[in-house]
Structure 1
């Protein structure tokens, strides 16, 4: 521990590592700086000491200045006279101090942010990569022009407007743009060796998610081949591959790395490539070349460097933004819990999961009483109450409205679900000193990926959680042994069949005659559906799906339009025909149903008394609902209304006092056993008596024999319907030209 403390102190104080490192790095940087001796004088292709000094400031701030000053003196005192060495060192320090002060003032507390940060790129490019070399050029040019320093000891000549000056200036720019980052990382690792592991982690994070080892290997092989051609292969001078033109082929390879591998790997590899190119420059740079050609090569590499680094920074920034956006998209911004997308992703990533659905409908009333903040706080606290019980990787998910979902990894879900249920019952939230404990419905099911219908599955769980609110027990969606995902899949498949039938007129209308004992017969419209395989399906197969997914009105409207259109077309042959059409209870509850049906009747020029509306009695048809209002409006319009399947479900004698109707249809379950069950006989007899008091006509369904028909006639039933009276037949067969009958 003491050794670590001493090293930390040594690595931060000006007399320690900031003083020692420049003395080591300055001669190394001078050795690797590429310099050419030409007839006009020597020129630098890349000048590394300047990048090293700036990197020292990037790591140690102003504490690096003493070490930089000593390193400059040690570098120039053996080469030139002491006054000239001192003058040159002072010029370097002035330029470095002014540039660093401007950078610190502009960057403020973000001056030490790591490389690759796109928002800091313009500031660093200006102060450290452009302003500093430019200021160095101006200061050195001034002292050379004034004769303070000889031309041989500096990078510049007396005439500032020469190709040699331009090449040396580009060398300073290229060094500050490309090698600054390499020196920075090297110095940081020396200061804190653990920074190497941090760099490795950053390098991995910056790569695109779909980058593979094969892609990296291919890029590395291509880059190695290109460097080998440029630096080692001895080919004829006239060969295009050994010319400086081959340098341009490096750009697409580096842009590939910039867009795929991240800023860190791209900038590090390109910086090392530049050093290698200049160390083996004899292969592609002719020592007898003209200065203009050399200036073009240097400017191209400078432009390449800026382009590659900016593209790498932009690509890395875009990936970082996309990752943040994806993470934000998986979390509800208000509640702070993972959302439905996160649930879908987690289910897809696990081989087996158990979904628990929590329904808390009382939160609606509590939210209206105490405000929306109550709902938010309740869900947050409930999630916190459940998390200690959950295993690593399991989570609570926010769902719209007043619901939550849990995902469990347990191999014995029933036991854990019961424990969760017990924990839910013990939870209460104290709000303004008042303990609140709303009821929570809990349903669950086990699933395996792939889960292609998650929203529909959650809808099924929501319905079961509603049942749990009444039973007080967790409800299993998989009761009966049928896999829940298969049930949902079958429902969606049937939904697609229904939609296909609607779009392509694949529904078939049948008509069954209802015999009136006074000779006033009419027909009931029956619906069948032809699926994509050509099979005809009965209503009990597809109508539950129609009702569940809210397609009731689409189906009822299609039946009404087709029936009225048939009546209009056969007006001459069937002038007084009457047809009864069954409508869903949800359709009856449409506020403007009577107006819509009235418009259809008027469009087809059909009298209202020719259309009988059959309604299956439901709890929705109470005295104060739109359902009962629609019935009254239809009767005022002139359409008779029949209550279907009376005696089962919600139908009762109490309902007869609330609902005004013209026809009462006795459910077939009573009619079928009328000869063998005295109870059913008396029930039908009492229904007929009540109907007479209400001035309603009675229809008996499922009349399957003549004996049953005779018994019903004696009771005073007005209409008979069943196989003993008539079999269902195609609606179009009622036209005079057709007479084909089909089996039901």
Structure 2
């Protein structure tokens, strides 16, 4: 902090010194350029110096006023002015500079349109400064009597012209220097610039030559010069227009004074005034034209910039961030690679309905500010790609992983804001993901890549963010495979099996105390066109994400009951168990649909068991409770699958009618080695006895496991060690037909 303060003080001192020297240099050069006038008039030719000061004060603020005031004070002392003239002259300059600051601030607060401010600011300052310094000049002349009205007007016009020319010129130079951290950059000389320069030179030469002669040309030629600044406005690049106009007018003034100064050093006042009026008119017209053109260009630039910015957070939008990605991914960039950080507010549409769009926008603005705060360098670009989805492009220069560091700080800031209640995300949390590498080729899929990466973060609660270390294109390939699965699933549900279809398998559940009973669990598989069988892990999560599970559950229920009804051996089944998803469990169609299917396929409700997984997401628990109660009253058995692995173990037992507990295979696999697993099985068996439920052990694979389960009182077994799954039709065919 101390180093930063020292740099600021050093910079401010440098600015003040430059202001002091610049003002002095401008005043000295003008006096040197017009010695006859300087000797003839009892006032200082400081019009240009004052105009430069106003431009610098408008650009950099009031901190330069002391330096300019000191420059004017020392100038007046160096000229040998009397004390009253020194005090009044310096005071008048100070008052005008304070007016410049105050009037500019007034315009900023009272005038909304930028073009109006630009057209009012400098002309009003020019009128004020010219009026003040003309009155000062009249006062200085007062010792020898009031000057001629022509001279008073000429003084006013000279000051006003200087302000109109040089005040906006200095503003342009300072603004360009601040933007580019150096002097303003100009375009190379083109044919148009060369042609305009030649025209200006010829006009000035004609003014000088014709002006020395008596004739009509001396009267009308200055009006021809009026067109030269206008040509500059409409032909030259805006970056050089002010310089060109100022240079032309400055030389024109010099030619004007040379032409109208007699050999004895006296000035032709009337001719001088007429020419000065023309020069002022040319300057004013050029100023208004330049400001109009610049206002138009600035408006276009703002419109172009607005196309790249997000209206809610003022970050980049999708278009702006992809353009920035192309720039940062260019081969000439110095960084080693480009990383990407994604932030997502999940289900932002539902959140808008819950808390209101204005509140969601407030949350998004807060996230936008957080992104700005945690970025360590301005080169890192942040954007809001769509409602609820944000991104940061992080150039990685060295070996240090800046993206991971930023993501860690970002997660801490987001978690803190959530704890403090500033991020009401309906307890879903803000998702965060880091992609190690993105390229220019990823720009077309940037939103998709981030959505998929953030989705992976939602699948894991044990880490602050998802870290994708492979190329981003792998996420796109995964997404394509996902969309292919969605298409194939929908076609299969519609009866189209060209790309594959569902097939039902059966896995027996063996009762060691009743070997003649035939219980099965119906398992869903996918048969590819080449006959390959895919496990449900390949597609069920996709189906759930895209809302297809209710349709799949209805297909399984209908097809399973139709199959056992169609085959005569189906009558020997003691029970058929079918899995239900959380979406189906909370569906209002479930009880009536199952009752209809049982009637259609002549299957007793007592021989149907519906399995619900303890880890499934149930969106409407109240409706699920009513549905299960209705089914249980109908006679359908209810089983809790994967018992012991979820967080809702006892909640399920408390709220749902349960007939069967299926011990998760993770407690069965190491039954012989783990006393803890044996205790879990034992406790589950005791709990089931208390509830009047039966217990089924899953993933039974070895004789030793069967032996231990028997010792622990669990005699319903399911697993590869008991019987492997097989197609449902094949299983039914294997049953006795009598």
TM-score, normalised relative to structure 1:
0.48
Tell me the TM-score normalised to structure 2 length. Answer: 0.48
